[in-house]
Structure 1
Amino acid sequence: MLRLLTIELQKIKYSKSAKALLIIYFGLFMFIALIASIKFNLGFVEFHLAEQGIFNFPYIWHFNTYIASFLKIFMAVIIVSMVANEYSNRTLKQNLIDGLSKKEFILSKFYTVILFALASTLFIFLVSFVLGLIFSSYTEFSIIFSDLEYLFAYFIKLVGFFAFCLFLGIWIKRSAFALGFLFVWWIAESIIIGVLKFVIFKDSLIANKISQFLPLESISNLVKQPFTRLNVVQASASQIGADVNWDSSVSILQLLIVCVWTGIFIFLSYKIIKRRDL
C-alpha cells in the first residue's frame, strides 16, 4: 500500500496544477471560515454570522462538512486530471512495463482517493475544532465530541464521489470530457428525480425513496442541509407557524448505498483497465 501511494504522490508532487488546486481547495474553506467569523458593520446594522450559532458545538460538525462538500469539485479535477495524464503522458503503459499490475494501478489510484478524503476530513475537523473553541457557547467535552458522525459521513461522501470521478477518468480518458460527463450525469439525475416526483408518482416521499439509490443523489444525501437546525430559523418558523422539521441525521442506509456504489466504480474501473489495450 505504501509503495503504491508513494508512486502516486510522486506524480502529484511534480504536477503544478494539482498543487495549485489543492491550495485553492483548502484555502477557500479557510477563507469562508474567516469571513463567517468577522463582524460586518452595514450602516445601522452590525452583522456577525458566528453569533448566529453556526460555530456552536456540536452543530459546527454538521454545518462545516456541508459547506466543505461544495468544494469537492477541486479535488475531483485533480483526480480526473491525474488519470487523464496517465494516458497522455503514457506513464500508465510505462508503469505496466516496469512491473506494476493493472490491479495495483487501480489500487494506487483508490488509495490516493482515500488519502485525499482522509486529509480533507482531518482538515475540516481541525478547523472546526478551533473555530468551535473560539466561538461556541458550549464547550463541555460531551457536547464537543457529539455528532461526529457527520465527519464520518463526509469522509464516505468524498470517497464515493472521488471513486466516481476516478471511474469517469479511466473510462473517458480525457479530463475535460470526463468532467463534462459528470455535469451531464448530474443533470440526468435531476431530470429523473423531477420525473419521479411530478410525473410518475406525484409524491415526493415515494420519489425520494427511489432516487436515493442514484449515485450522485445518494452521495449528496449523506450530509443534508443543516440550516433548519439553526435556532434563529427554528424561532422564526415557530412565530409564523411553519413546520421546518427536517431529518438531517446521518442515515446508515445512505452510508451503505454509497459504499456499494464506491465498490462498483472501483470494480468497473479495474474491468476497463483489464480489457483495454494499453
Structure 2
Amino acid sequence: MLRLLTIEFHKLKHNRASKVLSLIYFGLLTSIALIAAIKFDIGPIKFHLADMGIFNFPYIWHFNTYMASILKFFLLLVIVSMMANEYSYKTLKQNLIDGLSKKEFILSKFYTVVVFSLISTLFVFVVSLILGLMYSDYNELSIITTNLEYLIAFFIKLVGFFSMGLFFGILVKRSAFAVGAMVVWLIGESMFKGYLFWTFRSAENTSESVNSIMQFLPIEALSNLIKEPFSRLGAVKSIANQVGENFTKSYDVDFSTILIVCAWTFIFIYSSYRLLKKRDL
C-alpha cells in the first residue's frame, strides 16, 4: 500500500494543476471560519452569524461537514485529472511495463482517494473543533463528542464521490468529459426523480414513495448522508413555528445510507478495474 501511494503522490507532486486545486480546496475549507466574521447592523437589527448558534457543539459537526462537502468538486478535479494524465502522458502504460499490475494500478488510485478523504476529514475536524471551542456556548466533553458520526459520513461521502469520479475518469479518459459525465448523471437522476413524482402524484405519501426508490441511486445516496442543517437551527425553527410550520424531519446519519454508498463505492472501483482489464492500452 505504501509503495502504491508513493508512486501516486510522486506523480501529483509534479502536477502543478493538481497542487493548485488542492491548495484552493483546503484554503476554502479553512475559509469556513470566515463565516464567524459575518456581522452587520441595520438600524436596530444586529446580525452576527456566529451568534445564531451555527458553531455550537454538537451542531457544528453537522453544519461544517455539510458546508465542506459542497467544496468536494475541487478535489474531484484533482482525481479525474489524475486519471486523465495517465492516458495523456502514457504513464499508465509505462507503469504496467514496469511491472505494476492493473489491479495494483486501480488500488493505487483508490488508496489516493481514501487518503485525500481522510486528510479532508481530519482538516474539517480540526477547523470545527477550534471554531467550536471559540464560539460554542457548550464546551462539556460529552457535548463536544456528540454527533461525531457526521465526520464518518463526510469521509464516506468523499470516498464514494471520488470513486465515482475515478470511474468516469477511466471511462472517458478526459477530465473535462469525466466531470461532464457526472453532471449528466446528476441531471439524469434529477429527471428520473421528477418522473417518479409525476408517477406517484396521486399516492397518499408521494415524497416517501419517491424517496424509497431514489435512496438507492448514487448521487441521491451521497446527498442523503448529510442532510441540510439549516432548518435544524433554533432561530429557523422559531420563525417556522410563528408562521405555522413545523419541521419533523430526521437529521441523523442513517446506517442504511452508509451501506448504500459503500456498495456504490465498491461497484465504481470494481467497474474501474474490469474496464481497465478489458481495455487494450
User: TM-score w.r.t. structure 2 length?
Assistant: 0.96
2:228 to 204, 212, 225: 225
* 1:102 counterpart residue number: 102
Identify unmatched segments of 5+ residues in structure 2.
Answer: none
Between the aligned partners of 2:17 and 2:94, the Cα distance in structure 1 is 22
* Farther off after superposition, 195-204 or 259-268: 195-204
Contact 1:62/1:147 (<8 A) preserved: yes
Whether 1:205 aligns to 2:208 is yes
**Corresponding residue number in structure 2 for 1:273:** 276
**Which residue identity lines up with residue 223 of structure 1 in the other structure?**
I
1:57 aligned partner: 57
Give the C-alpha shift of residue 46 in structure 1.
Answer: 2.9
How far, CA to CA, are the matches of 1:142 and 1:41 in structure 2? Answer: 33
Alignment match of 1:239 (pick from 234, 242, 262)? 242
Preserved CA contact (<8 Å) 2:200 2:209:
no
Please give the alpha-carbon distance, in whole angstroms, between the structure 2 residues aligned to 1:201 and 1:154.
Answer: 33
**Count of residue pairs the alignment pairs up:** 277
Partner of 2:179: 179
After superposition, residues 74-93 of structure 1 pair within 5 angstroms as 74-93=74-93
Q: State the alpha-carbon separation in 1 of the partners of residues 48 and 195 from structure 2.
A: 41
Distance 2:40 2:79 in 1: 41
Match in the other structure for 2:166: 166
Q: What is the deviation of 1:232?
A: 0.3
Give the stretch that moved more between structures: 191-200 or 255-264.
191-200
For residue 40 of structure 2, what is the aligned residue in structure 1? 41
Deviation at 1:32, TM superposition (A): 3.0
Sequence identity (%):
58
The Cα of 1:227 is off from its aligned counterpart by: 1.0
TM-score (norm 1): 0.97
How much has 1:30 moved relative to structure 2?
1.8
CA distance in 1 between partners of 2:38 and 2:271 (Å): 49
What CA deviation, in whole Å up to 9, does each residue of 1:25-45 have, x standing for no partner?
A: 1111222321x1115234423
Q: Which moved more, 1:8-17 or 1:200-209?
A: 200-209
How far is the alpha carbon of 1:241 from its aligned partner? 2.1
Query: Which shows bigger deviation, 43-52 or 213-222?
Result: 43-52
State the alpha-carbon separation in 1 of the partners of residues 164 and 108 from structure 2.
Answer: 15
Q: In the alignment, is the contact (CA less than 8 A) between 1:201 and 1:207 conserved in 2?
A: no
Give the letter for the 1:133 counterpart. Answer: L
SS of match in other structure, 1:221: helix
- Is the Cα contact below 8 Å between 1:228 and 1:246 reproduced in 2? no
Shift, 1:201, TM fit: 5.1
Give the letter aligned to residue 40 of structure 1: K
Q: 2:93 & 2:181 partners in 1: Cα distance?
A: 25
CA distance in 2, matches of 1:184, 1:229: 31
Instruction: Show CA shifts across 1:54-104 (max 9, x none).
Output: 000000000000001100000110000000000000000000000100000
Structure 2 counterpart of 1:30: 30
